Amino acid sequence: MVVLRFLHVDVASGEARVVEADMPSVLGPVDYGVRVHLEARSYGSPVFSARSPVVAGCGPFAGGRVFGAHRMALVFRSPVTRGLHVSTVGGVCYRFVSAGVHGVVVEGWREEPVALVLRGSADGSIEARVEEIGWDQLWEVWRGYQGLRGTRALAAYVLERYGRGLPRAGALVVGPAAARTIMAGVFSFNVEQGRPGGVVDSASRGGAGSVLLQGHGVAAVVYGGEYDPSRDNPRLRDARLLDEVGSRVLGKSYAEAVEQATVKYRYDPRLGTGGTFGVNYLHYRDLLPFFGFNTVYLSKAARSGLVDRILEELWKPVQREVFEKPGPRPWRTCGEPCPAVCKKLWRGVKIDYEPSNALGPFSGVLRAEDMAGLVELADELGIDAIEAGHIVAWLFDLLQRGMLSPGELGLGERPVFDPAVYQVGRDSRANAEAARAILEGLVEHRGWILTLVARRGLRAAAHALNLRYSGRVYMYRTGYQDVAVYSAYGERGYMTPNLYWSPGLVAPVPVPGRYWTVYSPSFAPPEELAEAVLNRMIAEYLVDNAGLCRFHRRWAEPLLQHLYRELLGLDVDLQNHALGVLRAIAQYQLQAGAEPRPWESRKTIDMVAGIAVELGDRDWGPRMASDPLAAREWWERFRKKLWSLLGLGGNRQGGSM
């Protein structure tokens, strides 16, 4: 019988036990995480609770020849949405599987922060230790260790202290944002000669790092060992078998399928660029959101002019050095051997589209060097860069409108956040300095507003500002929430969207902030879009649950059923399996009181109405733009259709917190 092995560690007692999950009832780490949380009934406990575990695991193909199969999925109750969340981080499992298990389940609580150290033997046995770091030492390392700061400093510290002598050592770490905010990620670095290398990746959406540290007292997980999963299943490393499956299903060898499917992320000769940063600005152009989604209010001509400036000031400097400059290419992988080499480094900083746009043009920062400095800072702090960009843009917009003053945020000057008067040479660096002050202020709790945002998130802070400054709300005829774009969940939860102009990213889905939806710039009637969203939700969940990188989805989706059969001997209906797991997640959200709530932000509605009008919709677009009740109708019909497709009907239910 094929099994997945998970190590449960109680950090309070140090006790560890291995649990074997039988396949096909559990096909991957997402499945196991959902099971663990349902059995623990974590929906009835506070988010930061010893009884709300963090499950981090690898898929069943890790340790083999399947490209992109070494992504780690984390399943946890999010302090942002207040519901069950899934986030993933690349390359981790390439080394993690040598510890002898597919994943680790963190339970219990330690007041002083600790590191978990996992060591696997060749025979599959595993040793687990809980090593105390302590708050004083942790902050000292974050502030500076061997010339490094934040997450990278902690990775260097734990690899030197606990990873020395550990074969194939790697580490997961959190940064100072995990101690002071609800939106911190879990970070990983490629390892070079026992030290963190230049490539950083993170599971950031939803606040897994905050839960790990504030809920359990765990600041790092160090892992390694000598176990080889292919020892028990040689088919995992059978390249000839993979080629046979690829030829039979796709009509080409497996290597050819992978090469063709990942061309965007490596290098697209048609565009002369590659990676998400290189391709997205050229491909989507004015349909990307800038200046806090305020571009949805601009004409196409104005948006096109803005994109031209972004391409000149932000995109071209990166393009010249990363793709056009003679010499070795600064292209890397996330840590596993992979032909996609999707990680593009610019002056030592990993440049991907979403973090770069979030802390670049979305935040009114248009020069490449200014953007890169903010991306590097977010990685050091260990904060979700997308969420950080939404917070910065929201506060900048409030400052631009006069609804907040610079002094109330500890700033000296008011940022320029109007594209019509924005001058790159004058405003990019000044805006970047203000953004840096806000990011550092969130972690250092500078002033009551930034402290509130850090501790409770954007949505709760907006409603608190409505009460505190009710006179300004009346004066400007605008609520503080109206200036942000987000989806509401339950009484307190929310999620800001990934940075595409798409209604699918703010639609009432069970797991937001991921690509488990339709995210391309598009619009459709609610029932039609709900059906399309479910199809993508199923496909993306299956990729995540298999431990695969979604950059490989074009070959992985048609091949996945066959991989389970040929490599693992499992004949399972993946579609029905996925529906069952997604239904369980949706039921959990209801029990946690984290069910989707109607849009409460004017800009969120305007974003959806804007793309409808942009794409020529003559029904919903004009109606939603002029009547909030039309937007409510679209939202309700989408939710009813999607949740009925999940087998839950259209009823909303509450739950305990």
Q: Are residues 211 and 251 in the same domain?
A: no
Classify 40 as helix, strand or coil.
helix
CA gap 7, 57 in Å, rounded: 10
- As a whole number of Å, the CA-based R_g of the chain is 23
What is the span of the domain harbouring residue 246?
234-262
pLDDT of residue 14: 97
The answer to whether residues 30 and 75 belong to one domain is yes
- pLDDT of 306 reads 98
CA atoms of 597 and 494, how far apart (whole Å): 9
Look at residue 501 and tell me if it is in a domain: no
**Chain center to CA of 310:** 24
DSSP per-residue letters across 486-525: -EEETTTEEEPPPSSS-GGGTS--SS-SSSSS--SS----
Q: What is the pLDDT of residue 2?
A: 80
Both 135 and 253 in a single domain? no
- Say yes or no: 8 and 140 in one domain: yes
Model pLDDT, residue 657: 23
Q: Does some domain include residue 16?
A: yes
Contacts of 154 (CB under 8 A, 6+ apart): 138, 141, 142, 145, 173, 174, 175, 219, 220
User: How many other CB atoms sit within 10 Å of the CB of residue 650?
Assistant: 12
Same domain, 146 and 248: no
What number is the average pLDDT over the span 82-103?
98
Both 248 and 267 in one domain: the answer is no
pLDDT of 655 reads: 32
The string of pLDDT tens digits covering residues 388-435 is 999 999 999 999 999 999 999 999 999 999 999 999 999 999 999 999
Range 136-150 average pLDDT: 98
Classify residue 656: in a domain, yes or no: no
pLDDT tier for residue 1 given thresholds of 50, 70 and 90: low
- Tally the domains of the chain: 4
10 Å CB burial of residue 264 (0-12, 13-18, 19+) is buried
What is the pLDDT at residue 654?
35
Look at residue 502 and tell me if it is in a domain: no
**Is residue 291 in some structural domain?**
yes
User: Using one digit for the tens of pLDDT, what is the confidence trace for 322-373?
Assistant: 999 999 999 999 999 999 999 999 999 999 999 999 999 999 999 999 999 9
Rounded mean pLDDT, 623-632 = 96
* 8 A C-beta contact, residue 389 and residue 357: yes
Residues 181 and 254 in one domain: no
- Any idea of the CA torsion for 20, 22, 25, 31, to the nearest 10 degrees? 30
Q: Is the pLDDT of residue 552 over 50?
A: yes
Average pLDDT for 301-330 = 97
362 with 290: CB under 8 angstroms?
A: yes
Q: Is the pLDDT of residue 510 over 80?
A: yes
* 3-state class (DSSP) for residue 431: helix
Residue 14 sits in a domain whose CATH number is 3.60.9.10
pLDDT at 457 over 90: yes
Identify the CATH number of the domain in which residue 378 sits.
1.10.569.10
> 305 and 216 in one domain?
no
- Over 60: is that where the pLDDT of 437 sits? yes
pLDDT (0 to 100) of residue 358: 99
- Is residue 194, in this structure, part of any structural domain at all? yes
Residue 491 within a domain: no
Same domain? For 313 and 413 the reply is yes
- What average pLDDT does the segment 266-271 reach? 97
Shared domain check, 179 and 165: yes
Position 513 confidence tier, pLDDT thresholds 50, 70, 90 = very high
- Rounded to an integer, the average pLDDT of 109-128 is 98
Q: Do residues 632 and 574 share a domain?
A: yes
Q: pLDDT above 70 covers what percent of the chain?
A: 99
Same structural domain, 282 and 253: no
Asked if residue 515 belongs to a domain, the reply is: no
| Band of residue 556 on the pLDDT scale cut at 50, 70, 90 | very high
What integer is the mean pLDDT of 614-629?
Answer: 95
* pLDDT tens digits, one per residue of 227-251: 999 999 999 999 999 999 999 999 9
| Percent of the chain's residues with pLDDT above 90 | 98
